[in-house]
Each structure stands twice: as structure tokens, then as C-alpha cells.
Structure 1
Amino acid sequence: MIYIYNDYGGTHTTSLAAAYHLKQLPQSERKLTTEEILNVKYFNQMTKDDFGRIIFHGKDEEGNSVYTLGRKRNKLVVPALKELALLLQEQYHFDDKIIFSNTSPTVPTAMSIGGFFSRGLKIDFIGVPLLVKGAKQCCDHIFRLVENTKHVGSSSFNENVIILENKMYK
């Protein structure tokens, strides 16, 4: 199975989701510490050149691959990737299930503003504290989103490619 967590930038909530999924963060809804947040691989590290790249984060305890994707505002990226995956599955008998899970609904205002200052304007002394504040605000939502994503992945759905918009977290 392949999990791909996606959102606008692919560097904040997606990195946290991948870290939760891979058990690199405490497996609970407790608030993360500043150190835990800043030590997450790829957190606030991606640049504009990374948009559209599918970044491998590791394999989970069941051997499933975990990736992230920054898709900008383009809502057609994930549906296009779904169609490509279905085509490849049909042509090459590739039968791994692929789950696209949108982390955007977990993003609080502080994280959006922090990302703009840090990644957009390169003003980290303003952006990073806002990103950390935002991550602390939403980490419980991200943890639950990951748990739901893994549950859907392990369910016996007949679909081989699933898109989770995760609107429940708004």
C-alpha cells in the first residue's frame, strides 16, 4: 500500500502526518513540544522547487510506503494522479492500494501565516514561531487524520486508489 499525504505546500501538516504515520512522533493526541515539531523531517524545509514532487518519508510497520506532496492551489493534481495510478494498475497489473489523504483541513490560521512569512518571504524569526504555534494547535487533528487514513487503508474497500479530502477536520 502507498500513502500520500498532500496539501498546499507539502512541508508542514504533511510532514507531521508522515511522522505520525511512521511513529516518529508520540502516538497520542497530546500537544507536541517545540523540539518535537522542529525535529520532524522536512518540516518547514521544502522550497518552491519541491512543489509537485512526491517525497518518500519511509515505510511503516506494515511495510507500506509513506509519501508527501505539495500541490499548491491546483485541485486537479490529485485526481490526475489517481487517473495515472489507475492506468498503471490496469496496464502493468500493479495492484497496490494508493491512499491520497488531504491534510489541508487541519491547517490553522497561525500555520498559514507562519508558512507565508517563513517559506514565502524567508522571514523565519516571524514565521517559525507562528508555524510552531500552529502545529501545536493542530497536532491532535493531524494525529486523528492519520489514524483515520490508516483505518481506510486497512479496510476492505474495493477501490485501489482512494482520495480522502478529510473535510471533517475543518
Structure 2
Amino acid sequence: MIYIYNDYGGTHTTALAAAYHLKQLPQSERKLTSEEILNVKYFNRLTRKDFGKLIFHGNDEDGNAVYTIGRKRNKLVVPALKELTLLLQSKFHFNEKIVFSNTSPTVPIVMSFGGFFSRGLKIDFIGVPLLVKGAKQCCDNIYKLVENTKQVAKTSHYEDVIVLENEKYK
């Protein structure tokens, strides 16, 4: 199975989701510390050239690959990847289940501003504290999203490609 967490930039909530999935962060809904957040691989480290690239984060305890992708505003990226996957599965008898999980519903407004200042304007002294504050606000929702993603993937036996848009988390 392959998990692909996706959102606008691919470097904040997706990086946290991958870290939770790979058990690189505490497996609970508790608030993360600033140090834990800033030590997550790829958190606030990707740039414009990384948009649209599948970033490999590692294999989980079951041997499943975990990736992230930043899709910008383009809502067609995931449907196009789904269609490509179905084509490969059909033509080459590629038999791997793919799960796309959208982390955008977990993003609080303060994180959006933080990403804009840090990644967009390169003003880290304003952006990074906002990103950390936002990550602390939403880390419990990201943890729940990851747990739900894994559960749906394990219990869905009839779909080869699963697209989870997820709900707005509060």
C-alpha cells in the first residue's frame, strides 16, 4: 500500500501527517512542543521547485510507503494521479493500493499566514512562529486524520485507489 498525504504546499500539515504516520511523533492527541514540530523532516523546508513532486518520507511498520505532495491550488492533481494509477494498474497489472489523504481541512488560518510569510515572502522571523503556533493548534486533528486514513485503508477491500478529501476539522 502507498499513502500520499496532500495539501497546498506539501511542507506543513503533510509533513506532520507523514511523521505521525511513521511514528516519528508521539502517538496521541497531545499538543506538540515547538522543538518536536521544528524537528519534523521537511517541515517548512520545501520550496516552489518541490510543488508537484512526490516526496518519500519512509515506510511504516507494515512496510507501506508514505509520501507527500504539494499540489498548490490545482484540484486536478489528485484526480490525475488517481487516473494514472488506474491506468498503470490496468495495463501493467500493478496491484498496489494507493491512498490519497487531503490534510488541508486541518490547516488553521494562523498556519496559512505563517506559510505565506515563511515560504512565500521568505520572512522566517514572522512566519516560523506563526507556523509553530498553527501546528500546535492543529496537531491533534492531524493525528486523528492520520488514524482515520489508516483505518479506511485497512478496511476498504474493494477499491484500489482511495481518495480521502476529509472533513473540516475543528
SS at match of 2:18: helix
- The correspondence of residues 1-170 of structure 1 with structure 2, limited to 5 A, is 1-169=1-169
User: Which one-letter code corresponds to 1:2 in the other structure?
Assistant: I
User: Which deviations, in whole Å up to 9, do the C-alpha atoms of 1:34-68 show, x marking residues without a partner?
Assistant: 00000000000000000000000000000000000
Percent of aligned pairs with the same amino acid: 79
Shift of 1:93: 0.6
Deviations 1:54-103 (A, max 9, x none): 00000000000000000000000000000000000001111110000000
Q: Aligned partner of 1:43: which letter? A: F
Residue 157 (structure 1) shift? 2.9
Residues 71, 77 of structure 2: 8 Å contact kept: yes
Distance 1:132 1:71 in 2: 22
Mind listing any 5+ residue stretches in structure 2 that lack a counterpart?
Answer: none
Structure 1 runs of 4+ aligned residues shifted over 3 Å read none
TM-score by length of 2: 0.99
Aligned equivalents of 1:53 and 1:156: distance in 2?
27
Distance 2:78 2:169 in 1: 19
Runs (5+) with no aligned partner, structure 1:
none
What's the Cα RMSD here? Answer: 0.7
Other structure's SS at 1:96 match: coil
What secondary structure sits across from 1:4 in the alignment?
A: strand
For 1:167, what is the secondary structure of its paired residue? coil
Aligned-residue offset at 1:153? 1.0
What secondary structure does 1:153 align onto?
helix
TM-score, normalising length from structure 1?
0.99
Q: Distance in 2 between matches of 1:155 and 1:97?
A: 12
Q: What is the deviation of 1:167?
A: 1.6
Code of the aligned partner of 2:70:
G
